[in-house]
Structure 1
Amino acid sequence: MVSQLQPKEIIYPDQDGNPMSDNTKQFRWIVVIQQNLEALFANDPSVFVAGDLLWYPIEGDNKTRTAPDAMVAFGRPKGDRGSYQQWKEDHIPPQVVFEILSPGNRLTEMNKKQEFYDRHGVEEYYLYDPDRNDLSGWLRTNDRLAVIDEMQSWVSPRLGIRFESSEEDLQLYLPNGEPFKTHTQLLQQRDQARQQAEQAERRAEQAERRADLLAEQLRSMGIDPDRLP
Structure 2
Amino acid sequence: MTLAPHRHQTDDLAECGWRTEEIVQPDGSTAFEMIPLTEEEFLHPEEGYHLPNSTFHDRIAGDIKDILTRRYLNDPTTAVFGDLIIRWEIANFKDHCPDTCVVFNVQEKDRVRTEFLVNSEGTRPCLVVEVVSPRYRKADREIKVRQYARAGVQEYIIFDRRRVRNQVLDEVLGYRLIDNVYVPITPDDEGRILCETVGLLVGLHDGEVVVVDAQTQERLLRASELEQWAIHAQQQAAQAQQRATQAEEEKSQAEQRASEAEQRAAQLAELLRSQGIDPIEFKVNSED
Both proteins in one fold, TM over 0.5: yes
2:98 maps to 68
2:224 maps to 184
What do residues 123-143 of structure 1 show as CA deviations (whole Å, max 9, x unaligned)?
000011134211111001112
The RMSD of aligned alpha carbons is 3.0
Q: Using the TM superposition, give the Cα deviation of residue 103 of structure 1 relative to its aligned residue in structure 2, in angstroms.
A: 2.0
2:171 maps to 134
Distance change >3 Å, CA 68–CA 168, structure 1 → 2: closer
2:186 maps to 149
1:171 to 210, 214, 217: 210
What do residues 90-127 of structure 1 show as CA deviations (whole Å, max 9, x unaligned)?
1x210000011132224145432222201010000001
2-side partners of 1:183 and 1:75: how far apart? Answer: 26
Which residue identity lines up with residue 117 of structure 2 in the other structure? Q
Looking at secondary structure, tell me which structure has more strand per residue: 2
- SS of 1:95's partner is strand
Distance change >3 Å, CA 47–CA 188, structure 1 → 2: farther
What do residues 28-58 of structure 1 show as CA deviations (whole Å, max 9, x unaligned)?
1001000100000111101010111110101
Distance change >3 Å, CA 185–CA 16, structure 1 → 2: same
Distance change >3 Å, CA 130–CA 179, structure 1 → 2: farther
Which residue identity lines up with residue 30 of structure 1 in the other structure? A
- SS of 1:104's partner is helix
Q: 1 or 2 for the larger relative contact order (CA 8 Å, sep ≥6)?
A: 1
Mark the structure with the bigger radius of gyration: 2
TM-score (norm 2): 0.54
2:118 maps to 86
TM-score (norm 1): 0.67
- SS of 1:177's partner is coil
Distance change >3 Å, CA 169–CA 44, structure 1 → 2: closer
Q: Which runs of 5+ in 2 are unaligned?
A: 1-44, 163-168, 238-288
Matched-pair identity in %: 22
182-191 or 154-163, larger mean C-alpha shift: 182-191
Which residue identity lines up with residue 51 of structure 1 in the other structure? G
Aligned length: 179
26-35 or 71-80, larger mean C-alpha shift: 71-80
Which residue identity lines up with residue 133 of structure 1 in the other structure? D
Q: Which runs of 5+ in 1 are unaligned?
A: 1-12, 197-229
